[in-house]
Structure 1
Amino acid sequence: MTILRLSHVEVRVPDLELATAYYCEVVGLIETARESERVFLKGWDEHQHHSVVLTWEPTHGLNHFGFKVTELEDLDLYAARLKEAGVDVVRYGPDEWAPGHGEAIRFTLPSGHSMELVHGMQQVGNLLPLTNPPPKPLGLPGIAPPRIDHIFLTAEDVGGMTDFFVDVLGFRVTEQVVGDDGFRIATWLEVSHASHDIALVTGSNGGLHHFAWAVEDWTALRDAADVCAYHGVRIETNPTRHGATRGHCLYFFDPVGNRNEVFTGGYWVDPDNEPTIWTEAEMGRALFWYDGVVNQKFLTVHT
């Protein structure tokens, strides 16, 4: 019974055409399918049908996110574990929720977020041949990240949410910010042996802080900042480094208000590693190592 990695996010956009143009031309994702109120996108090195779904709604924010499981039987096993924990589960058959989506179970987290576990999403291939491929395709537009990397959510009870992910879903805590009162202010968790696949920070229930794509290295991160500046994209945080996860990052916003990140670096995690602890006084360094400062706007999100 294994959860592999972050599979996809579905975000709300009040202007579907504008958001699609941004995610295709600036971020550099590939459109794989389109409906009247939904567009499906993926990174160039992702084999599955989609990793980002844009859904037209009057507001921006997160509708749901999903993680990929190894085997179809895992859905039954996790459904049983969730029901034992008192969580209602909705089952979707193959392609029932969306084209190419596969089979899935969906449930509501204690924070009100909608989460999914999915198996068997249609494999459409990356942009490389299976025989003697080059390292990457030429002529990719925009930032052109190869894949989705992680998601960062807000919750009123970070400790309770963290325990749910650990006890019910088998995630492991890699880092945490612990307040002077002993409560967890922020946590980073993984299932893929990366520094984190999901992170939580104290805030409103149901909130999306950001979702992130992986890029190859610091040069690619710098180039991503160049692309954003060229297209007039609002950059929130210039290329810098996290203390927690040790990764390098760039934060910016899509044209409707969803916060994006490109991320590189981090470290490899073994299951028996002890979590790193950051004190409340050093939370600024945990998030932004060089400046050591977190302004209130960075912690502001929309549900």
Structure 2
Amino acid sequence: MPDRILRLQHVEVRVPDLELCTAYYTEVLGLIETARDVKDGADRVFLKCWDEREHHSVVLRQAPTYGLDHMSFKVAEAADLDYFTEKLEAASVPVKRYAARELGPGWGEAIRFDSPSGHLVELVHGMERVGNMLPMTNPPPRPQDLVGIAPPRLDHVFVMAEDVGEFTRFFIELLEFRLTEQIVANDGHQLATFLEHSHTPHDIAVITGPNGGLHHFAFWMDDWNGIREAADTLAYHGVTIDVAPTRHGVTRGYTTYFFDPVGNRNELFTGGYWVDPDFEPITWTEEEMGRAIFYYHRQVNERFFTVHS
């Protein structure tokens, strides 16, 4: 059976300084602004990466604090919203439904519900298609007028939960995600898990921490050289780099972590592997957690576990 959920569609994050963050995401990261609006009394800016064909993948909302408002996943068909509504409500999870554009410009029809960790989760279908800045006939590999780092697309979101096992079961049993990797404590409970629908190492991951917390959201880069060059750009602009370019053990990916101007952690990610539906999950032990997260350094800095709620 084909997947009903295809991939991560977008994240909406809170920012105390909307104009400063808009400048950072457009001029340093190189995302493209597609719209602005006011929702529930707060200004919002809608952004997309250059190779994304749909209206937005990042939404910035003016708010007193920083952190994650919600995460949204794309479903293949409109009927999939009905399917998951029935499945969630049968498990006593309240679901709210929204018409197309009810939630904002470019938005598709959507359902929303809370995960056990208190994260607001959305499934959406029918986002407005705005194109990827390239012609549909005889296109070049990339546009010639890109600004900043210009990652081609959003890749994954990484959150925090007090009970990683409960969070993981919810996403596997009700949303039909597949487990790719896990870090397991000596007493057997899960410290972190990595889950996918897009046949990549992860579309969402969770690590032990406060309920509702955001660890980071990540953008895809096409290769390792792109990540190294992006770090040069980040350093040039004075962006706070959390972890310089290195490699993960989990996912086998290459990475660098850094912070937007108000404290939301970003990542650039590349590499990994292909995941078939019958993929057997990989387990890392508690003693090897440092190597799992940063394979070369074999240890994790304390700031890596900073909470973004």
TM over 0.5, shorter chain: yes
Which AA in structure 1 matches 2:26? C
Aligned residue number for residue 44 of structure 2: 38
Aligned equivalents of 2:62, 2:19: Cα separation in 1: 9
Question: Does residue 261 of structure 2 align to residue 255 of structure 1?
Answer: yes
Aligned residue number for residue 8 of structure 2: 6
User: Which of the numbers 266, 270, 275 marks the counterpart of 2:276?
Assistant: 270
Aligned equivalents of 1:253, 1:300: Cα separation in 2: 11
Alignment of 1:100-115 (within 5 A): 100-115=106-121
Which AA in structure 2 matches 1:5? R
Question: Does residue 144 of structure 2 align to residue 138 of structure 1?
Answer: yes
Aligned equivalents of 1:296, 1:225: Cα separation in 2: 21
Aligned residue number for residue 246 of structure 1: 252
Aligned equivalents of 1:68, 1:88: Cα separation in 2: 19
Aligned equivalents of 1:163, 1:27: Cα separation in 2: 34
Runs of 4+ residues over 4 Å off in structure 1: none
Which AA in structure 2 matches 1:87? V
Aligned equivalents of 2:128, 2:145: Cα separation in 1: 25
1:183-236 C-alpha deviation (Å, 9 max, x unpaired): 000000100100111000000000000000001001100111011001000001
Provide structure 2 residue ranges, at least 5 long, that are not aligned to the other structure: none
Aligned equivalents of 2:144, 2:236: Cα separation in 1: 20
Aligned residue number for residue 126 of structure 2: 120
Shift of 1:139: 2.8
Aligned residue number for residue 62 of structure 2: 56
Aligned residue number for residue 29 of structure 1: 31
User: Which of the numbers 240, 246, 253 marks the counterpart of 1:234?
Assistant: 240
Which AA in structure 2 matches 1:259? R
Question: Does residue 195 of structure 2 align to residue 205 of structure 1?
Answer: no
Aligned equivalents of 1:5, 1:72: Cα separation in 2: 15
Aligned equivalents of 1:227, 1:91: Cα separation in 2: 41
Which AA in structure 2 matches 1:26? V
CA contact (8 A) 2:37 2:104 kept: no
Paired residues, what number? 303
1:71-100 C-alpha deviation (Å, 9 max, x unpaired): 000000001101011110010101000011
Identity %: 65
Shift of 1:300: 1.3
Alignment of 1:269-288 (within 5 A): 269-288=275-294
